[in-house]
Chain A
């Protein structure tokens, strides 16, 4: 049974991570100066997971509401 973006947002960060690990699929990851960003496909939406590179700690995991942001991550990968 799929969850909507808003239902996904109701969960704690730890639970979101578990949901993504159990139901999601890693599409791409991008490395920036201080952060690593992973983009997952889960249910019918995409999730942006931001990790602190120093300690590899997950600091944010939210659905992507903006298509340009998703395109940005895809493009950022191509530039590499």
Chain B
């Protein structure tokens, strides 16, 4: 799914949910701060979310530095650095040149530093490869390169093998290849493989490195130069950006360059360095004081204290058996909890218990990889660290029971093996937790009683018992991967044998851009010419790619509906593992339901907007005039003008027993339509589907023919063919084929639509499900739009990030895709 407005809506939904739950957007209530206690909601809590790793923010020397600077220079020096810089800047830059032993530029923030440096450093002939977990601020700066047509692509996190493959491919076409990464990654606290990268840079002279070492600054390296600098002097083709707003404790940022000329050019041409405001005297004064500490041996004492605390925290995490996700020497820790609901529960519990920790949630991590992120600083005592971890372990046990999540699920979400001593406890817990609901799982519709299925879902679309039989027959035993679907059925009954939940699921290969803007799909389809399965994912979905409508029967009047949904979540996750699928989709919800929304988000699903689906609810008109009267005035006008005017020139024929040649013609007509629209981008249907439709009584096939006297091109073949499914008095047009020969003279698509509406009426159907897309035409004929949405879960965000980096309406740019990278 595209990272478009729907993506923003998703973030809004998740963050707002966190705000409502009282764990995000908090404000402290202290009048005075000293140490690591902060007051939240009237209570003193130990802050385990601070990035001031060395605890220097309370150092007297830094405070005095800030106060002294204000006394001397005022609260601000409000001039662009392009004109005049306050003296403190020069003093501070001299200190940093000693720390980094390289040329430096000071910037008000790291983000502004990236925005200043990246567009200057990267030339038109260069290519950029971004680690997909690199900080958002780097990605923002790289977005400025795209309009210039500079090749930008993402690569999977820390995969230097793929990076090397990409270098080999790109180096002949590009002068420099920039790899953008973080020194210490902000969410999991894992590190950039600097040593291996330097080796790669020595091997490929085209490779340049740009690293954001915000979380490594001060904590590592000689004079606290950071994680990258802990590997020795800066590589001659590396540029470093470090934050002064974390362990350095003053605000601001530093850009470090391998040579003076590069620094000069960025200083001269970097946008924010010309037009944005400078750092203010107070921050500069404090920074000079902090830099002096960094240039003394005291920095090593602080680094050692921090490392002692990190070592102690790691030992405690191990002893208390918490599922930690990465192991590095960084002060950032991430305890996996898998689903957001457990994350919310844990952060809330810990806050109530006197510990503030961060929730690591989408989009920073995939939904199913939610976790508790916490940081360790020099201000923490061992006992604070131990008590926090002890309480976290105690709360996790209880919260897991409350949220019905097992350790096995957590470890599995992070693709980590469950520690052997925990496996037996898990099995026992799972037996004890088995509820009173009865789950029935089936592999074919034949195993389900026909009437029962049709009573539950038969009137919702083309997936009544016979419809599913047709789908199973059509999408199995085919040669091509995308034409073979897995079918699974789930029924959940309560103790009285009443069905609370029923649905069917298909597992198939989907195009990731299926719901993206057509212009994005257009760009991606060009890449699929070389790599047909580029940006495709195996998806376990409720419903199928050839059905629409409410695929999920859920009895919300039952007190057990949430438990039944839990069983569905569990089942769909099992299918995901079984079929090695990347994404999960629970789709075609029509009515907004805040309770259901929240429940899905808590369980790791995010909401995605689907195209509107259209329905004609009333086919009960008595005459054409009566029908027209029921349309909007615009619709009435359009139907008269574009359809009724030429209606007499067409005839509609029901297709019975078509020949193989006829079917091939119809199939090609379908491909005409399919290839003309990328609004809902799917793989082509197999020819077998068309053969099977002919042999199934519930498929009503009609063709629209131009009468011979008007066929001045002597085509002598249908202009449209319509394949519609009839179920429980519903008429469901599924597939349309068109011949565009008379496209200009006659509005053939509109004629076809009108013909099937008449056909539905003739068959005494009561309702028409008109499907997705072609909004204006469907409205014209009186169809009502239904806002449709689904819930999705992705195993990882990589493809989502790649899709999000495409621009709708973008002009075509260079692109060649290979392996796990994408050019934009």
List A residues at the B interface (Cβ < 8 Å).
1, 3, 7, 10-12, 14-15, 18-19, 22-23
With a cutoff of 8 Å between Cβ atoms, the chain A residues found around residue B307 in the complex are 12
Of B305, B311, B320, the residue contacting A1 (CB under 8 A) is B320
Known: A1-B316, A3-B315. A22 touches B382 (CB 8 A): yes
Known: A22-B383, A23-B382. A15 touches B315 (CB 8 A): no
Q: Are A11 and B316 in contact (CB under 8 A)?
A: no
Instruction: Kindly state whether residue B204 has any CB partner on chain A within 8 Å.
Output: no
Instruction: Kindly state whether residue B820 has any CB partner on chain A within 8 Å.
Output: no
Q: Are B311 and A18 in contact (CB under 8 A)?
A: no
List B residues at the A interface (Cβ < 8 Å).
304-305, 307-308, 311-312, 315-316, 319-320, 381-383, 386, 390
Cα(A78)–Cα(B779), bound, Å:
101
Q: Are A15 and B312 in contact (CB under 8 A)?
A: yes
Known: A10-B311, A18-B382, A22-B382. A1 touches B390 (CB 8 A): yes
With a cutoff of 8 Å between Cβ atoms, the chain A residues found around residue B312 in the complex are 11, 15, 19
Distance in Å from the Cβ of B824 to the closest Cβ of chain A? Answer: 47
Nearest to B393 among chain A residues (CB) is: A1
Cα(A15)–Cα(B304), bound, Å:
9
Of A1, A7, A12, the residue contacting B308 (CB under 8 A) is A12
Known: A22-B381, A23-B383. A12 touches B320 (CB 8 A): no
Known: A1-B390, A22-B381, A23-B383. A7 touches B315 (CB 8 A): yes
Nearest to B316 among chain A residues (CB) is: A1
Cα(A22)–Cα(B386), bound, Å:
11
The 7 nearest A-B residue pairs measured at CB: A15-B308, A1-B319, A22-B383, A22-B382, A12-B308, A19-B382, A18-B382
Cα(A18)–Cα(B319), bound, Å:
19
Nearest to B381 among chain A residues (CB) is: A22
Main SS at interface, chain B: helix
Given contacts A7-B315, A15-B311, A23-B383, 14 further A-B contacts (CB under 8 A): A1-B320, A1-B386, A1-B390, A3-B315, A10-B315, A11-B311, A11-B312, A12-B304, A14-B304, A14-B305, A15-B312, A19-B312, A22-B383, A23-B382
- Give the one of A1, A10, A14, A22 with max B CB within 10 A: A1
13 residue pairs from A and B, CB less than 8 Å apart: A1-B319, A1-B390, A10-B311, A10-B315, A11-B308, A12-B307, A12-B308, A14-B304, A18-B308, A18-B381, A19-B312, A22-B381, A22-B382
Cα(A12)–Cα(B309), bound, Å:
11
Distance in Å from the Cβ of B320 to the closest Cβ of chain A? Answer: 6
Cα(A72)–Cα(B386), bound, Å:
34
Cα(A14)–Cα(B312), bound, Å:
13
With a cutoff of 8 Å between Cβ atoms, the chain B residues found around residue A14 in the complex are 304-305, 308
Distance in Å from the Cβ of B538 to the closest Cβ of chain A? Answer: 43
Cα(A10)–Cα(B308), bound, Å:
10
With a cutoff of 8 Å between Cβ atoms, the chain A residues found around residue B315 in the complex are 3, 7, 10
With a cutoff of 8 Å between Cβ atoms, the chain A residues found around residue B319 in the complex are 1
Nearest to B384 among chain A residues (CB) is: A22
With a cutoff of 8 Å between Cβ atoms, the chain B residues found around residue A10 in the complex are 311, 315
Nearest to B309 among chain A residues (CB) is: A15
Cα(A41)–Cα(B342), bound, Å:
39
With a cutoff of 8 Å between Cβ atoms, the chain B residues found around residue A7 in the complex are 315
Cα(A7)–Cα(B304), bound, Å:
17
With a cutoff of 8 Å between Cβ atoms, the chain B residues found around residue A11 in the complex are 308, 311-312
With a cutoff of 8 Å between Cβ atoms, the chain A residues found around residue B308 in the complex are 11-12, 14-15, 18
With a cutoff of 8 Å between Cβ atoms, the chain B residues found around residue A22 in the complex are 381-383
Nearest to A16 among chain B residues (CB) is: B308
With a cutoff of 8 Å between Cβ atoms, the chain B residues found around residue A23 in the complex are 382-383
Cα(A18)–Cα(B312), bound, Å:
11
Nearest to B386 among chain A residues (CB) is: A1
Distance in Å from the Cβ of A20 to the closest Cβ of chain B? Answer: 10
Cα(A10)–Cα(B311), bound, Å:
9
Cα(A3)–Cα(B382), bound, Å:
12
With a cutoff of 8 Å between Cβ atoms, the chain B residues found around residue A15 in the complex are 308, 311-312
Cα(A80)–Cα(B58), bound, Å:
46
Cα(A52)–Cα(B331), bound, Å:
33
Cα(A14)–Cα(B311), bound, Å:
13
With a cutoff of 8 Å between Cβ atoms, the chain A residues found around residue B381 in the complex are 18, 22
Distance in Å from the Cβ of A21 to the closest Cβ of chain B? Answer: 9
Distance in Å from the Cβ of B221 to the closest Cβ of chain A? Answer: 18
Distance in Å from the Cβ of A58 to the closest Cβ of chain B? Answer: 14
Distance in Å from the Cβ of A2 to the closest Cβ of chain B? Answer: 9
Cα(A12)–Cα(B308), bound, Å:
7
With a cutoff of 8 Å between Cβ atoms, the chain B residues found around residue A12 in the complex are 304, 307-308
Distance in Å from the Cβ of A8 to the closest Cβ of chain B? Answer: 10
With a cutoff of 8 Å between Cβ atoms, the chain A residues found around residue B316 in the complex are 1
Cα(A3)–Cα(B386), bound, Å:
12
Cα(A12)–Cα(B319), bound, Å:
19
Distance in Å from the Cβ of A77 to the closest Cβ of chain B? Answer: 29
Cα(A44)–Cα(B324), bound, Å:
27
Cα(A34)–Cα(B315), bound, Å:
36
Cα(A60)–Cα(B335), bound, Å:
35
With a cutoff of 8 Å between Cβ atoms, the chain A residues found around residue B305 in the complex are 14
With a cutoff of 8 Å between Cβ atoms, the chain A residues found around residue B320 in the complex are 1
With a cutoff of 8 Å between Cβ atoms, the chain B residues found around residue A3 in the complex are 315
With a cutoff of 8 Å between Cβ atoms, the chain A residues found around residue B390 in the complex are 1
Distance in Å from the Cβ of A62 to the closest Cβ of chain B? Answer: 17
With a cutoff of 8 Å between Cβ atoms, the chain A residues found around residue B311 in the complex are 10-11, 15
Cα(A22)–Cα(B381), bound, Å:
8
Cα(A10)–Cα(B318), bound, Å:
15
Distance in Å from the Cβ of A47 to the closest Cβ of chain B? Answer: 15
Distance in Å from the Cβ of B697 to the closest Cβ of chain A? Answer: 70
Nearest to A15 among chain B residues (CB) is: B308
